[in-house]
Amino acid sequence: MITRRRFFFGTAALAGASALTQRIASGTKLLAGQTSPDAKVNYRPVVTPNGSTLPWVMKNGAKEFHLVAEPVRREFAPGMTVNCWGYNGQSPGPTIEAVEGDHVRILVTNRLAEPTSVHWHGIITPNGMDGVGGVTQKHIPSGETYAYDFTLRQHGAQMYHPHSDEMIQMAMGMQGFFIIHPRNGYPEPVDRHFLIFLQEWAIDPGTFTPNPNVMTDFNIFTFNSRVWPGTDPLVVKLGERVRVSFANLSMDSHPIHFHGHRWWVVGTDGGSIPKSAWIPETTMNVPAGTTRTVEFVADNPGDWPFHCHKNHHAMNAMSHVIPNVIGTNQKGVAQQIGTLVPGYMAMGEAGMHEMSAMAEMMPGPRNTLPMMTGTGQFGPIQMGGMFTILKVREGITSYEDPGWYQNPAGTVASPVST
Ligand SMILES: [Cu+2]
């Protein structure tokens, strides 16, 4: 159990230029040479797995950010690349990270073929900065840049997304986190703060472009626009305190579950929940249009699944209209179809286990991942979609993927004679 907490003091948030990577003990309030307006604000810079944080520059007393709305090609996992729309070459767009009280100026350049706007979801702004095309501002025409300028009067895990042809643009992948750290610090400082944007897509097998017209029958479910096995693991050191913020602008709620620990529900898009009202959970339901933030102490070493618990949401290219053959004797059927389709195999009567193995071996439609995939040290993992692995390790010196957990001898479920 690690008792001494370490955290960064502020950040310039410039990509590759971590001006404040010096680690100092909790309680110290000043850092020599620090010039950022965040100098006295202690927070852990966020980590967006498979994503990045948006750089900013100080200009006339404001943190100036620049978002570029544009079409992007996003690899969801090796073998599947999707024609999305996003920001700065990414979907979700890069994370905006700032501190309560900051004056921010956000330039938005529109490189889409249609107008757009950016709404600061959950953020209290002057009315004309709310980003709603037609209501609070003109839509931003293609090729033009608009400036949003406001002071952050709250904290919390917030979002940004278009409010112009909103349904299409969000379904194509336009969204991002806007994290506002509290000026007076968190009730409990953390060692790691991960951000996971939840999204769902309708991408027919063999195609490359999401269909925004689908209302319920989505077949691809993503963490930060990646699917298992393309999702980065969440690597933490044993004993670290971890915060995870989830955001959801999809058409469904996503109950995110993790193994081996329990977490406390510590925040919503309304800000921090008072510590006296924290509740323990192992599953955090994230309704559409909200963010949720949880914290836990990673005190149990191992490889722990971390996934949406709507079971179809942890699959890839899930078809919802295939017939159910569980418990059906298909022997005769297989012989008869075999005369028409040489090599035909009937599968599924005992479940889908054997199909997952075949899916790995047989070529499917182009740009389409197997429904159940991934292989671990004990065999096929048979998952997809909104799934990753929390890797809690003792003695690691970096957050690189440490590989599979080496379970102590005698601690793995194994066969016995009965
Ligand atoms: Cu889900």
DSSP sequence for 81-129: EEEEEEETTBSSPPBEEEETT-EEEEEEEE-SSS-B--EEET----GGG
311 pLDDT above the threshold of 60: yes
184 pLDDT above the threshold of 80: yes
Higher-pLDDT residue of 411 and 5 is: 411
Q: What is the pLDDT of residue 24?
A: 28
> Residue 9's pLDDT band (boundaries 50, 70, 90)?
very low
Report how many helices (DSSP H) and strands (DSSP E) the chain contains, helices first: 3, 25
The domain segmentation of the chain, as residue ranges, is 196-315+388-393, 331-383
Cβ neighbours around 402 below 10 Å, total: 16
Q: pTM to 2 decimals? A: 0.86
Give the number of residues written for the chain.
Answer: 418
Q: How far apart are the first and last CA of the chain?
A: 39
236 pLDDT above the threshold of 90: yes
Q: What is the pLDDT of residue 245?
A: 98
C-alpha–C-alpha distance, residues 360 and 194, integer Å: 31
309 pLDDT above the threshold of 90: yes
What is the sign, positive or negative, of the torsion defined by CA atoms of 23, 29, 33, 38? positive
Cα of 246 vs centre of ligand 1, distance in Å, is 12
Decide: 308 and 255 in contact? Cβ < 8 Å.
Answer: yes
Cα of 149 vs centre of ligand 1, distance in Å, is 35
Cα of 291 vs centre of ligand 1, distance in Å, is 14
According to CATH, the topology of domain 196-315+388-393 is Immunoglobulin-like (2.60.40)
340 pLDDT above the threshold of 90: no
Cα of 182 vs centre of ligand 1, distance in Å, is 29
Cα of 56 vs centre of ligand 1, distance in Å, is 33
Mean pLDDT of 193-215: 95
> Residue 11's pLDDT band (boundaries 50, 70, 90)?
very low
> Residue 239's pLDDT band (boundaries 50, 70, 90)?
very high
Q: What is the pLDDT of residue 18?
A: 34
pLDDT in tens, 377-416: 999 888 899 999 999 999 999 999 999 999 999 999 999 9
> Residue 166's pLDDT band (boundaries 50, 70, 90)?
very high
